[in-house]
Structures are given as structure tokens and as C-alpha cells.
Structure 1
Amino acid sequence: MIKRIIEDKILADFRRKKVIVLLGARQVGKTTLLSAIEGGFRKILSLNCDNVDDVLELEGKTSTELNHLLSPYDLVLIDEAQRVRNIGLVLKIIGDLKLDTQVIVTGSSSLDMANEINEPATGRLLEHNLYPFSLSELADATSEREERRLLENRMIYGLYPEVVNEPADAKRTLMSLTNNYLYKDLFTYKGIKKPDLIQKLVRALALQLGSEVSYNELSNLLGVDRSTVESYINLLEKCFVVFRLDSFSRNIRNEIKKGKKVYFYDNGIRNAVISNFAPLELRTDVGALWENLMVSERVKRNAYTSSFANLYFWRTHEQQEIDLIEEEDGILRAYEFKWNTKAKAKMPKSFAENYQNSIYEVITPDHFWSFLR
């Protein structure tokens, strides 16, 4: 089994005696991770809230009833907790009990979980996000050399556990994930009025990968107002389909101040959305795929190392640009992503003049492990 980096962080959090919440997209390995964690415990209660009987064990219970249910165990696992009505209140009660029992809760999206947990249970929870495999996790299981050999495959098929473990069925797995799981939480969410619009929006975002996204252009393309586009992209973020980067600006003249770029958490899902698994030599979007892979891997790396860096892109009205700006503790790091290892790149003059102490680096297939580790 491929060990997840986050496992040790979760185990270290046990000493803090709080409810641990593990969020992530469907099929990224949450249940497998819980199986690895439970190996160190003797008395375990597992509740799967896809099962109505397990939901009824938690819904509408008093603190006395929850104490009676949970306290006999060393570890309690509550899977798919978003199925429980008023889950935030349930977790608040559990947190207030201050049990010796360690409780871990998982959810496949942060839609209702975020809305219901944050307010009532503030201060009682420790939250972690789980993503598809990272290249670092795979390299730890095999070697950096092996993962470098498989880099083109990762760019096309991505890093979902089932895709990595069953590469011969990668296309079928990704199409199934996209058609059956990607939108499942969204389509059952009370704010969604036009499910087909979500699919059209995701496809439009996939086709604009690596480019600045205009909400106005998307609203014209889809025939809905700008606020609906923004709202739906926000929901896609909460379901771990995409994430946004804002433009970096310190009010220097000619910097774009309100731009946005949208990336996919997984290259394979992006390619499944547009039904294109062609090899790299036949593609026109290789640069965008490399950029998406590296930016999404940096997001995973920062999350798993508890880095609180802010990520941006930078562009001027004269089309000078930098793919990724990372700001942490007052230090700016600028990254350019080039699939062509012989491509030349240097820090744009305007950026160099205005941000003189920043660090600039070009990330290519020959030079990326230090960026990801």
C-alpha cells in the first residue's frame, strides 16, 4: 500500500484530543487511509453514513446517548458524515464530551460539511484535506527515477489511486469517476438549479486550462449571469474539482489586479472532461498540462507540510507573465513551468524591478523534485 504523507500528521494530532475531520473528493483514498490508521487500535467503531442505520445512530441524539455510543471505543470512524443531518451540532456535542475516544470524521465534499461544521463546532475540530496521490508519495513508494519515467502518463491520466493501481483501465476509471462521482455531491446540493450547466462550465474551464478566466466571457458562453458562474465555480472548489488562483498585485502600474486562473486538482479528471487522452506528441495543450500538474502538486505539498503560503499568478497588460507566485513570511518566489527542457526563460523586467528580493526559478521535467518536496 502506498503510504499517504498526511497519515503521520493525523496520528500526531491524536494527542490534541479533538475531533479530526478528513475531507476530500470521492475515490481519493479516504477509506483506505482510515484502514491504515485503525491498525494501531484495539476497540474500534466504524459508522458508514451511506448506511441509514448508522446515520440514525448519530442524528438527533443527546450528549448522554452519544457518550454511551462512543465512549466504549478507543477509535470511532464516521465515514461520509455529510449524510448526517445537523452534523455540525453532532460534532460540537462530541467535542464537548472530551472523551478519551479518538473520533475521525470523513466527508466527500465540503459543501454541507463546511456550512454545518464551522459555526457550531469551531475550536473543537482539526481539519485535513486528502487529495489524489502526490508524485512525492509515489516516489517514496518506488523512486524518483521511476516517477520521472512515468511523468507523461501522469500528465495524461492523473493520480487518482485506482488509476495509478490499475493503469490498464485508466480511461474507463476516469470516465466513470467523471460521469458517476464528480458531480454527485453538487447535483444533490440545494443550491444547484441547472445540473447540465455545471457540466458545461467544467468543460469550458477544462478548455481554458492555463489561461486567465473571464467570468463575463463564461456567462456569455453559458447564457447565465456572472454571479451564477462565480457561485458554481465556488461550489466546484468545495467539491475538490478545481481551485482558483488570483492575480498578484501591489498596485504597480499595468499589473492585472482582478484576474483569475482555474486549475484542476487532477490532470486525468481534466482530460476526461474533454474526452482527450491522446499522447503528448499529438496534443496542443502540453504546456498547460505541465503547468496544471506542477501547480496542483504544489498545492498538495503545501497542504501536507502545513505551509500557509499564498499562491497567485502574475501578469501585466503588456502580457508579461509569471505562472506561479508564492508568498510566505514576506518572501516572494516566482516559478515558470516549461515542458521543453531547453526553453529559455528569465524573470520579466517589470517584476524584477518592482520585487527586487524575489526568487525566480524555471521548473522543467529535468528539474522539479526540489519544487515538489
Structure 2
Amino acid sequence: MINRDLTNIVINKLHKGKAIVLIGPRQVGKTTLINALLADKTYLFLDGDDHSVSELLSNANTEQLRSIVGNYKYIFIDEAQRIPNVGLKLKIIVDQIKDVQVIVSGSSAFDINNITQEPLTGRKFEYQLFPVSWNEFEQNVGYVKAHQQLELRMLYGMYPDVINNFGNEYEILKNLVSSYLYKDILALAGIRKSDILDKILQALALQIGSEVSYNEIAQLVGVDKNTVNTYIDLLEKSFVVFRLNSFSKNIRNEIKANKKIYFYDTGVRNMVIGNFNALALRQDKGALWENFMIAERMKHLSYAQSLAKPFFWRTTTQQEVDYIETNADAVSAFEFKWSSTKKAKLPKSFIEAYNPSFRVVNQENFRDFLK
């Protein structure tokens, strides 16, 4: 089992009078993490995917909930978004059954937030669990082995099952993608046309590192711009992709509205386009490295509970910076180069406007970027 950074964070929030909500895509280890931190405790496990459990909880009043909870001090509700009115039931437990710690997991931000947000306002600690982070991976296998597997991790990604089943990565990713990318998302939104989703995903996968034009994707796929936006929104809320907004503050010709879109896991991205060629044979290794690093940085910022905000920067004259973080008044700029021999410098206009710190992130120094 790979130790997860989020475990101690969650442990420190136990019995603080609030529910703990853990969200993230299927197969990243949410259930494993919660079972591990409750391993030495007696707890009630309720599976939201079990229809009888879902029906029992959704219809329970306060006294019935007390009976269900009984003498347990911990309750773990898995896939809570499957249970109608679960937010109201959780509110009752938090407010009325004071000595019980409720822990909830869900694989859809779209569902879990809609269901729990209003009833649990001020009554929950919410955390997102990602595929295994580089720091977690390195701590598990050691510095040398992690370094040896850097290219493999860029190609096949960081899902626990992928990491733990060396030699079977392709088969596991294929099943993972067909399961949660398609079945879950299509069911989530009541969408039947998986071919549209497939085309949009492929378009996004081929554009990592570049600004995404919803109009261009709409023309390519043969749907309208609003449909593209709806699908991308679902992909983001299902933890498949995330958007990076453009940074704009001082310079007249800065691009203000465009976005870049990255995949949370590069193995998923490579499965979408069906390309697991070695880096030496790839035309997209620079974009792949950029996606891998930014996704890893998102994990780090989340687990560190950082207030830093991520952006990219570009002007209408094609001056650009791969990645920017703002924290209070400080601006940090980063360029990603797979080769440690490649140099980069910031545009003069960006330096004059923002006085940023600057670092080139390559395969030799990337660990500093992820700490």
C-alpha cells in the first residue's frame, strides 16, 4: 500500500464536530485511505452503491438515523452521492449525534457538491484525493527507483493500480478509461452520445500545453460551443481534466479570457490518444512534461493547503510563460523543459510589469518544484 499525504491531514480533523468529505475520481485510493485510517477502530461502513443502503438512509428520520448509528463512533459512507438527500441526513448526524465522526467519499464533484453543499455549509472538511503524487511515489519506492521510472510515470501515469501492476499498465488504463471516463460521465449527465465525448477528449489530449478554443473544438466535433463547454465542465467535475486560466493585470495586449486544459493523469491522456511510445520517439514530449509537472504541482498545492493561484501567461504577440503562481503580491514564473540543457528566459515586458521570480523546471531539478 502506498502511504498518502492526505492521511495525516484527515486524522488531524477527526472529532472536530464536522463531517469529513473526501472526493476524487474512482480508483485513486479513497476507500483504501479511509479504511487504513480506521483500521484500529470499530466503524460502520455504508456503501452508497448498495441500493438497500441507499434506500434505508434516504428515507430515515432522526430517530431512525440514531438506530442505524447505534453505538458506533465512526461512520464511513462510500459513494455518498448515490444516496438521495444524503446532505440532509449528514446534517442531522453532525448536529444531533455529536459523538459520531462521519467520513464520506464520493467520485463526482458534480454530484457530491450539489447534494452536500448547502446542508453541510460550515459542517464539513472537504479534501480532494488525486492519483498518487510524485512525493508519495518517491517515498514509497525510494529516490533511485523513482528516478529510474520517471519516463514510465509520464507515459502510464500515477494511478495506484497502474503503479502496482508493472507490465500490465496498458490493460489497467484501458479498463480505467472505459469505466470512469465514459460510463460514469455519461450516466452522470444523462448523455448518450459517447462519440462526442470521445472526440472532445481527443481534441483536448492533442492540445495540452496550448490554448484551447471552444469554437475550434466545436467545429471539429460538429456540435455547438455550448455543448463543448458542457462536456468540458463535466470532465473537470469528474476529475479528468482541469483548466488553467490566463494571467492578466497590467499589460494591454495580454490574453485575458483563454484557457489551457490539462489532464490530471498523463496515463489517461496517453490512453485517450492511444500513444505510449517512448519519449525519444514522441513529438509531444515537451507538452507531456508540462502536463505532468503542472498536474503534480496541483497535487502539491492542494495537499499543502496553499493559497497560491495557478495561471499561464500569453500576449497577442505570442510572448508566453508556461506557468505562473501568485501568492499575495508575489509572482513566480516557470518554464518547463524536458532537456536539462535547454535554456529559457522571460519576456522583458513580463519582467517589467510583475518583477517575478523565475525557474526553468527540467528532469534534473523538478523535485524542488514539487516541494
TM range (shorter): over 0.9
In structure 2, what is the Cα distance between the partners aligned to 1:82 and 1:15?
23
Point out 4+ residue stretches in structure 1 off by more than 4 angstroms. Answer: none
Alignment of 1:118-157 (within 5 A): 118-157=117-156
Letter in 1 for 2:183: K
Match of 1:186 in 2: 185
Match of 1:321 in 2: 320
Alignment of 1:279-318 (within 5 A): 279-318=278-317
Alignment of 1:70-85 (within 5 A): 70-85=69-84
| SS of equivalent residue, structure 1 residue 40 | coil
Match of 2:251 in 1: 252
Residue 14 (1) aligns with residue 14 (2): yes
Match of 1:214 in 2: 213
In structure 2, what is the Cα distance between the partners aligned to 1:331 and 1:166?
42
Letter in 2 for 1:332: V
How far did 1:58 drift?
Answer: 0.9
Q: How many residues align?
A: 371
In structure 2, what is the Cα distance between the partners aligned to 1:238 and 1:326?
22
**Do 2:334 and 2:360's aligned partners in 1 also have CA atoms closer than 8 Å?**
yes
In structure 2, what is the Cα distance between the partners aligned to 1:86 and 1:5?
31
| SS of equivalent residue, structure 1 residue 9 | helix
Deviations, residues 66-94 of structure 1 (Å, cap 9, x unaligned): 12212411211101111101222222222
In structure 1, what is the Cα distance between the partners aligned to 2:97 and 2:349?
55
| SS of equivalent residue, structure 2 residue 276 | coil
In structure 1, what is the Cα distance between the partners aligned to 2:278 and 2:17?
49
| Aligned residue among 337, 351, 359 for 2:357 | 359
**Do 1:63 and 1:93's aligned partners in 2 also have CA atoms closer than 8 Å?**
yes
Query: Is the deviation greater in 244-253 or in 262-271?
Result: 244-253
Letter in 2 for 1:371: F
What's the TM-score, normalizing by structure 1? 0.97
How far did 1:99 drift?
Answer: 2.2
Residue 169 (1) aligns with residue 192 (2): no
RMSD: 1.3
In structure 1, what is the Cα distance between the partners aligned to 2:129 and 2:55?
27
In structure 2, what is the Cα distance between the partners aligned to 1:162 and 1:343?
34
How far did 1:345 drift?
Answer: 0.6
Letter in 2 for 1:40: D
| SS of equivalent residue, structure 2 residue 253 | coil
Match of 1:38 in 2: 38
Letter in 1 for 2:252: R
| Change over 3 Å in CA distance of 1:253–1:181 after alignment to 2 | same
| SS of equivalent residue, structure 2 residue 12 | helix
How far did 1:51 drift?
Answer: 1.3
Letter in 2 for 1:337: F
In structure 2, what is the Cα distance between the partners aligned to 1:93 and 1:188?
29
| SS of equivalent residue, structure 2 residue 39 | helix
| SS of equivalent residue, structure 1 residue 14 | coil
How far did 1:50 drift?
Answer: 1.4
**Do 2:66 and 2:97's aligned partners in 1 also have CA atoms closer than 8 Å?**
no
| SS of equivalent residue, structure 1 residue 243 | strand
Percent of residue pairs bearing the same amino acid type: 48
| Change over 3 Å in CA distance of 1:92–1:5 after alignment to 2 | same
Match of 2:29 in 1: 29
In structure 1, what is the Cα distance between the partners aligned to 2:46 and 2:18?
18
| Change over 3 Å in CA distance of 1:193–1:308 after alignment to 2 | farther
In structure 2, what is the Cα distance between the partners aligned to 1:87 and 1:261?
35
In structure 2, what is the Cα distance between the partners aligned to 1:324 and 1:226?
26
Structure 1: state its 5+ residue gaps: none
How far did 1:225 drift?
Answer: 1.5
In structure 2, what is the Cα distance between the partners aligned to 1:196 and 1:127?
34
What's the TM-score, normalizing by structure 2? 0.97
Match of 2:368 in 1: 370
| Change over 3 Å in CA distance of 1:28–1:47 after alignment to 2 | same
In structure 2, what is the Cα distance between the partners aligned to 1:118 and 1:164?
34
Structure 2: state its 5+ residue gaps: none
In structure 2, what is the Cα distance between the partners aligned to 1:261 and 1:91?
37
| Change over 3 Å in CA distance of 1:98–1:252 after alignment to 2 | farther
How far did 1:98 drift?
Answer: 4.4
